[in-house]
Amino acid sequence: MIYTELTKKAMKICFEAHKNQLDKSVMPYVFHPFHLAEQLEGEYEVCAALLHDVMEDTGASPDDLRKEGIPEAVVEALLLLTHDKSVPYLEYVAKIGEDPVARAVKLADLRHNSDLSRLDTVTEKDRNRVLKYKQAVEILGGEAEDDLVSRAASFAAKAHAGMKRKGNGLPYILHPFEAASIVGTMTDDCEVIAAAMLHDVVEDTPFTLSDIEARFGSRVAALVGAESENKREGIPPEQTWRVRKEEAIESLRSCGDAAAKMILLGDKLSNMRSFARDYKEQGDALWQHFNQKDPEMHGWYYRTIAELMPELRDADAWQEYDVLVRRVFGK
């Protein structure tokens, strides 16, 4: 759980809403939403976890929460989490899978509610309820993940609409699509593939990491953040190229997250494929399209990246990358 102005506000609302309630084991009910919040990391997810039963159990309305300053993205997640008893349970669960914040909270909720050690006496009804929860987890863990990549692709296409690639003028969206495809050869983790699809959104469009977190969850946002450079707005990009690349290299040097390295490799291999094609046609004139016009500097950067990913050397993507770096920049 993280402590921000928003999550502290949600804690207070949660405590006031549930302070006189008890759960099935006759423990203070407020322990449950606080336990869920402890399992989560994103600000919106923590906020939604704390408030996930407020509307269903206390009669508070969405407008009540909006008046308290709860963001619309959190309110939308809470509306999905609030079960209309006229809707079949598994249909309600499937709908939750469309929202990453609601999905993360519901999975934490299902895990906690499936822990029968919380109860003094376990009945057949309790065991049947856990079986139902397992079905819900399967729904949220399968179809929702597949949908995550599709939504990321759609969001990236809209975010990069009208943008062109340097060097060849092709639609920019082809690059994140290719990067995500490369990452998909190294992992089947849908959050990592989605982050690869979104890796340039924060760096190159008006959308922020908060926008990514609200739509795709905290882990995807963290992976996108790890791939995003500080562009130093207001300073010509050609003047900041070297320092930005040095920062990226230092970040990679200290990175222990294999998923983040896969995304970086997907990004850079896509670039190297483009360089190799375009260099064959344009020769050294290719580099005039970029902020850094010295091919030796590009070679330094791309060679260093290869050296700092020893754990990925056995991957086909790394081996192709190494071959292309040597072909374009020499040994």
Q: If 0-12 CB within 10 Å is exposed, 13-18 middle and 19+ buried, where does residue 1 land?
A: middle
Q: Which residue has the tokens 């294999």?
A: 258
Q: Which residue has the tokens 């209309």?
A: 84
Give the number of other CB atoms < 10 A from CB of residue 7. 21
Comparing CA positions, the residue from 103, 101, 110 lying closest to residue 46 is 101
Domains of the chain as residue ranges with CATH:
5-141 (1.10.3210.10), 162-329 (1.10.3210.10)
Strand, helix or coil at 171?
Answer: strand
Comparing CA positions, the residue from 54, 45, 59 lying closest to residue 13 is 54
| The pLDDT of residue 145 | 46
> CA 94 to CA 270: how far, in whole Å?
35
Q: What value, to the nearest 5°, has the Cα angle with vertex 161 and ends 205 and 268? A: 65
| The pLDDT of residue 312 | 95
Q: Which residues of 193-204 are buried (b: 16+ CB within 10 A; e: fewer)?
A: bbbbbbbbbbeb
Centroid of chain to Cα 175: 18
Residue 304: enclosing H or E segment and its boundaries? helix 295-307
Contact 266, 183 (CB under 8 A): yes
The pLDDT profile of the chain, 331 residues, written as one tens digit per residue, is 788 999 999 999 999 988 889 887 788 989 999 999 998 888 999 999 999 999 888 888 999 999 999 999 999 999 999 988 899 999 999 999 989 999 999 998 998 888 877 888 878 888 888 888 888 888 887 434 446 788 889 889 999 999 998 767 789 999 999 999 999 999 989 899 999 999 999 988 999 988 888 778 888 889 999 988 777 778 887 888 888 899 989 989 988 899 999 999 999 999 999 999 888 888 888 888 888 888 899 989 999 999 999 999 999 999 999 999 999 988 7
Strand, helix or coil at 315?
Answer: coil
Please list the residues that pair with 164 across neighbouring strands: 171
pTM of the model: 0.57
Active-site residues, by number, are: 203-204
Q: If 0-12 CB within 10 Å is exposed, 13-18 middle and 19+ buried, where does residue 62 land?
A: middle
> CA 208 to CA 24: how far, in whole Å?
41
Contact 269, 324 (CB under 8 A): yes
